[in-house]
């Protein structure tokens, strides 16, 4: 039976959420002294929020290309990645950053708790991600865990996601070149999506050439993800998005979709999906779900 | 020639600062796309600020107990730890947290830049710490680097430093028991000092029993550090501290020094120094600088 992509995505999200729920248990781990209840609740609020879990899904599906004997490692790495993604949302929503009150129709962490709790919950989620990947409970060789820690840090730090958010804040009201917009987006959203796809390869024990290939797939769908996001910001209502829309234009932020218009953006999206499918060619039939993922990313309506 | 402790500490600080300066170079590392200049400047402002570098010094000195052939690994781990310590200062100084305008006589990061820059600089420093430890440029076996990543994450996350800061914020205006104050302090300041001492053992390839012993030394001087800090907050002026003082009492924060008074605190400090010296007994003469460090921590005037 061929399952619709949304059903597969939801099944993956459910597995990842169970892993996250276990990891955010009240019981301290060895070396931890105590888990303060309110901080833990703020972390859970930031993470267990009904997200689509696209990045973790990409970890699971790219790992599945390589016959892993069990999926504990992939699930833990996927959960760690989601902690990093969610930390970035918690901090980006803060008044000093994007100042958002709602996230997926729910109050953001600083609205549900307070700003200090949101800052510390974000910090703790980021820190926890590196704990999860490095811990012996992640059943991978030491070299693989170490490579994942290092790649995750580079994808999310100054030269990746955090740097991209800094560029994005600086871009308000300024005129970026097309090249600068592409770099900003490759950092802000692309780096973590690319990491998701490479991470599955590392978890699966893939050869360097295959990890590189998965990274290129990740870069293509990362760019598609951002273009689809820009398009939605241009065309959709806040009701279907569960968050404020039209904010890019209001903030004077240049986007490729805003620069070139809706038709150009749709053509670009089709081109990126075709490119992503080409990249997956050597993996044959097994990569079918990843092909669906590329189309899903380009076509998404929220 | 026997050098005074302050001279040794300053020499260590200088080595660590050179390492940090190199690490905060504008050139992106492999896997990084670009290092945005303003974010990099905010990170440097938060890190290259004339701190005493006590935690990194403890890494260097505990590692030196074990005949390392070169000190690159110890210096990189020390620098990573300082990135974590400084990220916590940058975030703790934010208006939503302790709301401090000055740090070591200089404007805090959010005053010198802005709040968004301070949040992202802190995030990026925390992330970078895990990059530094995990990278192949840190010349240690994969298992050792992995253990350092995991211990650092546990010492600084929800069950360590960040959790301690959450407890500290929650404690304002509430009456904590002595046990609760001890736990708060063991998390907020103790965990990272303990990590510093254990880390040197891991870097030096020490046996588990010696790493455990160094952890106990770290716990003793961590508590002494906090008691000395409380004492300074009770007794000194903001001029000698380079930051606001008397804030604990003003914020209604219970401290052990506030609870038991100055004389009791001084006796406790002497007891902790004696305990720290006892713990170091098996390391003999080589641990002399660490004994001096214990006395320095207990006696410090700023």
pLDDT of residue B250: 63
Put simply, the answer to whether A34 touches B96 (Cβ < 8 Å) is no
Least confident window among A161-170, B136-145, B227-236? B227-236
**Res. A246: pLDDT tops 90:** no
Mean pLDDT of A54-80: 94
Give pLDDT tens digits for A17-63: 999 999 999 999 999 999 999 999 999 999 998 899 999 999 999 99
Give pLDDT tens digits for B183-205: 999 999 999 999 999 999 999 99
pLDDT of residue A70: 78
pLDDT of residue A245: 53
Which domain range does residue A161 map to?
A: 5-299
Least confident window among A37-41, A251-255, B35-39, B57-61? A251-255
pLDDT of residue A251: 63
Spell B58-89 as b/e; 16+ CB within 10 A means b. bbbbbbbbbebeebebbbbbbbbbbbbbbbbb
DSSP output for B101-160:
SEETTEE-HHHHS-HHHHHHHHHHHHHHHHHHHHSTTS-S-HHHHHHHHHHHHHHHSTTT
pLDDT of residue B252: 65
In terms of Cα–Cα distance, which of B163, B119, B153 is closest to B133?
B153
Cβ contact A196:A218 at 8 Å: yes
Which residues from chain B sit within 8 angstroms of residue A29, using beta carbons? Answer: 154, 159
Our CA-based measurement puts residue B96 at a distance from the nearest CA of chain A, in whole angstroms, of 5
Count Cβ–Cβ pairs < 8 Å, chain A vs chain B. Answer: 197
Our CA-based measurement puts residue A112 at a distance from the nearest CA of chain B, in whole angstroms, of 15
Interchain contact A195–B (C-beta under 8 A): no
Cβ contact B110:B94 at 8 Å: yes
**Res. A247: pLDDT tops 70:** no
Burial of A28 (0-12, 13-18, 19+ CB in 10 A): middle
Residue B260 pLDDT class (50, 70, 90 cuts): very high
* Domain count of the fold of chain A: 1
Mean pLDDT of A139-153: 98
pLDDT of residue B69: 67
In terms of Cα–Cα distance, which of B43, B14, B13 is closest to B26?
B43
Placement of tokens 């949302």 in the chain: A89
Mean pLDDT of B203-216: 97
Question: Measured at the alpha carbon of residue B240, what is the angle toward residues B236 and B244, in degrees to the nearest 5?
Answer: 70
Which residues from chain B sit within 8 angstroms of residue A166, using beta carbons? Answer: 36, 38-39, 116-117, 120
Residue B248 pLDDT class (50, 70, 90 cuts): low
pLDDT of residue A244: 54
What percentage of chain B exceeds 70 in pLDDT?
Answer: 94
In terms of Cα–Cα distance, which of B127, B47, B151 is closest to A91?
B127
CATH of the domain at A27: 1.10.600.10
- Using CB atoms and an 8 Å cut-off, which of residues 281-300 of chain B contact chain A? none
Cα distances (angstroms) measured from residue A75 to each of A180, A292, B278: 35, 20, 45
Mean pLDDT of B226-235: 90
| Tokens found for residue B200 | 């040197």
Give pLDDT tens digits for A279-301: 999 999 999 999 999 999 999 87
């Amino acid at each position: 039976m061929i399952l619709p992509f949304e059903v597969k995505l939801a099944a993956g999200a459910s597995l990842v959420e169970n892993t996250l729920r276990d990891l955010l248990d009240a019981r301290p781990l060895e070396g931890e002294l105590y888990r303060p209840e309110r901080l833990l609740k703020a972390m859970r609020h930031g993470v267990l929020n009904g997200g689509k879990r696209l990045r973790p899904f990409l970890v699971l599906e790219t790992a599945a290309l390589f016959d892993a004997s069990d999926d504990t490692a992939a699930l833990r790495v996927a959960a760690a990645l989601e902690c990093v993604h969610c930390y970035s949302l918690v901090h980006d929503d803060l008044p000093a950053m994007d100042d958002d009150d709602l996230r997926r129709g729910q109050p953001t962490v600083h609205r549900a708790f307070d700003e200090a709790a949101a800052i510390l919950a974000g910090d703790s989620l980021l820190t926890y991600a590196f704990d999860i990947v490095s811990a012996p409970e992640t059943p991978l060789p030491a070299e693989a865990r170490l490579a994942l820690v290092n790649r995750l840090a580079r994808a999310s730090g100054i030269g990746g996601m955090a740097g991209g958010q800094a560029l994005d804040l600086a871009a308000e009201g300024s005129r970026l070149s097309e090249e600068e917009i592409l770099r900003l987006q490759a950092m802000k959203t692309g780096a973590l999506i690319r990491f998701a796809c490479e991470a599955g390869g590392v978890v699966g024990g893939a050869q360097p050439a295959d990890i590189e290939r998965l990274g290129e797939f990740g870069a293509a769908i990362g760019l598609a993800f951002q273009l689809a996001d820009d398009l939605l910001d241009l065309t959709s209502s806040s009701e279907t998005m569960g968050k404020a829309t039209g904010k890019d234009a209001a903030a004077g932020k240049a986007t490729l979709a805003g620069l070139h218009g809706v038709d150009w953006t749709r053509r670009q999206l089709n081109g990126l999906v075709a490119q992503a499918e080409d990249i997956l060619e050597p993996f044959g039939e097994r990569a079918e779900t990843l092909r669906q993922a590329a189309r899903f990313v380009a076509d998404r309506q929220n």
